[in-house]
Structure 1
Amino acid sequence: MTTLVTGATGHLGANLVRSLLARGEKVRVFVRPHTPQTAVEGLAVERASGDLRDRASIRAALDGIEKVYHTAAFVSIRDGDRQELFDVNVLGTRKLMQEARRAGVRRVVHTSSFGAVGINPEGASDESWSVSPFELASDYERTKAVSEHDVLLEALRGLDVTIVNPAAIVGPWDFRPSLVGRTILDFAQGRMPAYVPGAFDFVPAQDVVQALLLAMEKGERGERYLVTGEYHGLKQILTWLHELTGAPMPKLAISPRVMQQVARIKDPIEKRFFPQKAPRFNYHSIRLLNSGKRGDSSRIQQELGLVPTPTRQAFADAVAWFRERKLI
């Protein structure tokens, strides 16, 4: 039987597809017709052309499928992307889960996000924490939280589906690149004269792939599994990148409070006059990096057997991969 992977051209999907092929699985990738497909070029995969917003194309892609890894998502911190975030992350996930149940798919693993996990003010968040409707959150975080409700609804209707919530993913095969990948390239190419202090949970791509495979094999139906790595300040991350690339450290650290006030003015101007521009930061990205949010992934380690790997090595692997592609 064949395994379907959505989001195969994204960072996580590209890593997952290569692991599945190495295990000898027959893989079909669900790709949008106008999306660059460099991430799957030369791979022995079937291609199903379609879009998560198109139910008919989803139905066709699921024909003869036994297992589904749903890694596709629209990731954006841009203020002008609210409708597309909802259409892809919420409605698209709803359609995929409904069609997977109707097609009799045996198992589904849905990739959610650490962004769908609420903030524990007294320590690390685990699977019991959900985004409160009263707490500040980005449009992306909200759509990932809401999409989990549709996944759980289909689980109640009979779909055997498990949820995995990864933190910020770091590693190779980052073709687009991701937000973390763009930060690595900006630093390595000397485009980061300053930075805003903060910290976040970074997890190696290979750990997330391992988590998806374990969840498919023995994850409990209707349950979620948090996959975090190591919680590090941006100064530590930039120090690693300095050691790995030789690029100079930023000379200036700008107060988060100052940059949040700047963002309050900048964000609506960008939304109005530069709707297609991908911002380097916005109010919510600065807020998140200074929220103290960190994760506890002990459940997936104890129950499913995930073995975490060092985060610094994941940054080293990412730098080496970018260097091979002559981007550094």
Structure 2
Amino acid sequence: MSTKTSDLAGRRILVTGAEGRIGSATCARLTELGARVTAFSLPQDDAPAVAAERVLHGDTRDDAAVQDALDGVELVVHLAAIPSPDLADWTTVFSTNVVSTFTVLAHAGERGVRRAVIASSINAYGGPYNSHDVRPAYYPLDEQLPADLDDPYSLSKFTDERTAEMAARHWGTDVIALRFPLTAPQEVLLEHAARATGDLAHGATEGWSYLDVRDAARAVELSLLSSARGAHAVFVAAGETDVPFPTDELLDRYAPGVPRLRSFAGREVPIDLTRARTLLGFRAEHLLPVEPAPLPGA
């Protein structure tokens, strides 16, 4: 029994990709808040148990399965996707992700669902998986950053945001597309942070950003409660980087010549989180215990 009160209590919410990292954390949080969750995922062996009133297995590209999952649903959280260009052939990665998002949002819109949240990605601008040696057009990264797309996963997330805009326009479904960076439980993030500290150049395209999965679930909650109309892409990330060095010094060394619209205090993440704070009221709470240190050789 939940000890919290929430405007989501008693609401029927569909969560796709419910057995993934963000999905399972989201189901747990929404259930704790008293929501009536339908968890929908691909069938898989040894899948973790999820906190939900109703658990379904199927493919989010399947019209009949999605329509069944939407039965009685008021709100939608669509997290199902192939999360990397390396996990399947490129045609499958792109087609799975974009058809899934269109199918879920289209059927939700047809049924009169008025608010949805979808998982976009920092990769929607194309930098992190790019096979070319590119840097963002400027720092801090923001939702207006020009795209430089070079792989099917990034293209699928860019396309998903256009699908959200179409759903808002055609069906009047308000959609928040959360641009997640690396998102995982803290122990996984700490392992990644250790690797990132040893390969600082690699993190420049992502601004050495991260998000604890518990904060991701809270960002979903706040998106469901938002009064924002239309479709909006929103960067969500921890306010600090996952490496110990000053951000301005990192950018001087690993992104020389890239325009900087402002300076950064200490380890401040070089992502503009204004929209997350003003549109959703979101600030990450679960930060990594990284001790600041001078950049070697600086």
In the superposition, the TM-score normalised over structure 1's length comes to 0.65
Separation in structure 2 between the aligned mates of residue 309 and residue 164 of structure 1, nearest angstrom: 17
Unaligned 5+ residue runs, structure 2?
1-10, 128-135, 246-253, 255-268, 291-298
Separation in structure 2 between the aligned mates of residue 88 and residue 162 of structure 1, nearest angstrom: 20
- Alignment partner of 1:214: what SS? helix
Conservation of the 8 A alpha-carbon contact between 1:52 and 1:58: yes
One-letter code aligned to 1:184: E
- 2:138 pairs with one of 122, 131, 140: 122
| Aligned position for 1:82 | 90
- Alignment partner of 1:101: what SS? helix
Q: Which moved more, 1:73-82 or 1:10-19?
A: 73-82
Deviation at 1:152, TM superposition (A): 1.1
- 2:76 pairs with one of 68, 71, 89: 68
Matched, 1:297 2:282: no
Separation in structure 2 between the aligned mates of residue 74 and residue 6 of structure 1, nearest angstrom: 12
Give the direction of change, closer, same or farther, for the CA distance of 1:34–1:304 in structure 2 (3 Å limit): closer
- 1:196 pairs with one of 196, 199, 208: 199
Greater than 6 Å deviation, 4+ residue runs: none
Separation in structure 2 between the aligned mates of residue 64 and residue 130 of structure 1, nearest angstrom: 39
One-letter code aligned to 1:91: V
Separation in structure 1 between the aligned mates of residue 87 and residue 217 of structure 2, nearest angstrom: 30
Deviation at 1:79, TM superposition (A): 7.5
Identity of aligned residues (%): 26
Give the direction of change, closer, same or farther, for the CA distance of 1:88–1:36 in structure 2 (3 Å limit): farther
| Aligned position for 1:229 | 238
Separation in structure 1 between the aligned mates of residue 78 and residue 87 of structure 2, nearest angstrom: 25
Separation in structure 2 between the aligned mates of residue 310 and residue 21 of structure 1, nearest angstrom: 20
Deviation at 1:45, TM superposition (A): 2.7
Separation in structure 2 between the aligned mates of residue 305 and residue 81 of structure 1, nearest angstrom: 38
- Alignment partner of 1:108: what SS? strand
Alignment of 1:253-264 (within 5 A): none
Deviation at 1:118, TM superposition (A): 5.9
Separation in structure 1 between the aligned mates of residue 278 and residue 44 of structure 2, nearest angstrom: 42
1:201-246 deviation line (CA, Å, top 9, x unaligned)? 112222222221111111332122211224536677xxxxxxxxxx
Aligned residues: 242
Deviation at 1:304, TM superposition (A): 2.4
Separation in structure 1 between the aligned mates of residue 99 and residue 26 of structure 2, nearest angstrom: 24
Conservation of the 8 A alpha-carbon contact between 1:197 and 1:235: no
| Aligned position for 2:264 | none
Deviation at 1:71, TM superposition (A): 1.2
| Aligned position for 2:185 | 171
Conservation of the 8 A alpha-carbon contact between 1:70 and 1:111: yes
- Alignment partner of 2:90: what SS? helix
Conservation of the 8 A alpha-carbon contact between 1:73 and 1:88: yes
Separation in structure 2 between the aligned mates of residue 130 and residue 209 of structure 1, nearest angstrom: 28
Give the direction of change, closer, same or farther, for the CA distance of 1:210–1:230 in structure 2 (3 Å limit): same
- Greater helix proportion: 1
Q: Which moved more, 1:83-92 or 1:31-40?
A: 31-40
Give the direction of change, closer, same or farther, for the CA distance of 1:155–1:203 in structure 2 (3 Å limit): same
Deviation at 1:300, TM superposition (A): 1.5
- 2:158 pairs with one of 124, 139, 145: 145
Unaligned 5+ residue runs, structure 1?
175-179, 237-255, 257-292, 315-328
Separation in structure 2 between the aligned mates of residue 39 and residue 170 of structure 1, nearest angstrom: 17
Separation in structure 2 between the aligned mates of residue 294 and residue 37 of structure 1, nearest angstrom: 36
- Alignment partner of 2:95: what SS? helix
Matched, 1:157 2:170: yes
Separation in structure 2 between the aligned mates of residue 147 and residue 44 of structure 1, nearest angstrom: 26
